[in-house]
Amino acid sequence: MGRKLLTEHINVPGIDTFEVYRKHGGYRSVEKALKTMTPDEVVEEVKKSGLRGRGGAGFPTGMKWSFLAKPEGVPRHLVCNADESEPGTFKDRELMTKLPHLLIEGMITSSYALGANTSYIYIRGELLYVLRILERAIAEAYAKGYLGKNILGSGYDLDLHVHPGGGAYICGEETALLESLEGKRGNPRNKPPFPAVQGLYARPTVVNNVESIAAVVPIVNDGGDEYAKIGIGKSTGTKLISACGHLNKPGIYEIELGVPVEEFIYSDEYCGGIWKGRDLKAVVAGGSSVPILPKELILKTAAGENRLMTYESLSDGGFVTGTMLGSGGFIAMDETTCIVRNTWSFSRFYHHESCGQCSPCREGTGWLEKVLHRLEHGHGHMHDIDLLVSVAKQIEGNTICPLGEAAAWPVAAAVRHFRHEFEWHVTNPKEATRPGAYFSAKAALV
């Protein structure tokens, strides 16, 4: 059983209240940081820990913090990105629902490290009940003197606000989030300037994922070196994985990075294998935007090594034979799953969520969805399959924000690894829509 740094006390009754949380060692990092460390020392610990952003891109958090511009007399901000809405990812919701004080503690410590006196949690609009939980917890923290003026007599002030979004996936992109937080339409900004130089209200801003901010707590408590001992290579620490799909035990697991994928899927400690005794067909390892991989490639890399749950191992082989750890939304599909239908479903999501600002994404996501809809419903042609690849390539890399790529990658990967299934949909139009039809057709052939 791996170590649990974030979720150790998650099932303690009443852990969402200040007293119980405090009794279980809560707010130690705030005391330690504010009383014994300078802000730069906290940043240094985070750098040493090797913590990588948990929101999807995996950019080193310490490095992101050190890029923050610090002009004289200009306030800085820390914004927590709680706009988790990627299909398959639901780790932050759990963390915030059950351990709201962990996020608040992380926000205080991180804001102190960055010298921010006003910080924001931008939460997804659909999670209104979580917003209430957070607001109650924040009120408790204010009452106990952990937020507000002169925290713990250290002379450091911090105001923390929770702000709900309007329910747009695109507002999880950091610059769109900032636009939305400023009260504008949630369109991503062109970069540069990056938020670290001109972010919220044109002030230097750091935007971090909920889990990254929560991970600052154990890093400050135990020291960055201690944190870096967990994991393999540049993938340090623990990661929350939200496992869903055709698994015996779907749910949220905190794993030490470096657990083999095979163990994660099949061991009873984690997901407990595929449901109904079926075989695994494919896995989307990091939320719907990362490339899908077939069973052979998710368990072993192309070179035949065991695939591990780390940033490096999952992306081994690039996009030809690899994928990404992403945000940790682990979607497993059993052998009866229709990949075309699944890809169409993902594509429909991105079509719906494109902000419509730049032309390749606005028009391309809709185009992909329409072609996939046609293929799935038995009206496709052979040349549509190449059309999908071509359109995906026209979107990829040419958009303002990564949503274009997020829409293009799953389609390109599905065609790359499951082309035969797309072709089967074209040649068997009458069967195409029946669930599991491809699986039974293939079984009949064997």
Q: Are 396 and 405 in contact (CB under 8 A)?
A: yes
Q: By CB under 8 A, name the one of 399, 406, 425, 439 that touches other proteins.
A: 399
Where do we find the tokens 């699986």? 439
| CA–CA separation, 109 and 104 (whole Å) | 9
61, amino acid identity: T
DSSP string for residues in 66-85:
HT----TT---EEEEEE---
Residue span 343-362 as binding mask against other proteins, x where in contact by CB under 8 A, dash where not: --------xxxxxxxxxx-x
Q: By CB under 8 A, name the one of 37, 365, 368, 418 that touches other proteins.
A: 365
Using CB under 8 A as the binding rule, whether residue 434 contacts other proteins is answered as: no
- Which candidate, 178, 180, 223, places its Cα nearest to that of 28? 223
Taking contact as CB under 8 A, which single stretch among the options 39-47, 94-102, 108-116, 397-405 is the one that binds other proteins? Answer: 397-405
Q: By CB under 8 A, name the one of 397, 429, 435, 436 that touches other proteins.
A: 397
In the complex with other proteins, the residue whose CB is nearer, 266 or 349, is 349
- The nearest distance, CB 298 to other proteins, in angstroms, is 27
Report CA-CA distances (Å) from 231 to 143, 212, 228, 253: 38, 15, 7, 15
- The nearest distance, CB 135 to other proteins, in angstroms, is 28
Residues 180-219 within binding reach of other proteins (CB under 8 A): 185, 190
Using CB under 8 A as the binding rule, whether residue 315 contacts other proteins is answered as: no
| CA–CA separation, 251 and 160 (whole Å) | 30
- The nearest distance, CB 422 to other proteins, in angstroms, is 17
| CA–CA separation, 95 and 80 (whole Å) | 13
Residue span 165-184 as binding mask against other proteins, x where in contact by CB under 8 A, dash where not: ---x-x--------------
Using CB under 8 A as the binding rule, whether residue 124 contacts other proteins is answered as: no
How big is the site for other proteins, counted in residues (CB under 8 A)?
31
4, amino acid identity: K
How many Å separate Cα 270 from the centre of its chain? 19
How many Å separate Cα 239 from the centre of its chain? 10
Using CB under 8 A as the binding rule, whether residue 401 contacts other proteins is answered as: no
Binding stretches for other proteins (CB under 8 A): 168, 170, 185, 190, 351-360, 362-367, 370-371, 374, 387, 390, 393-394, 397-400
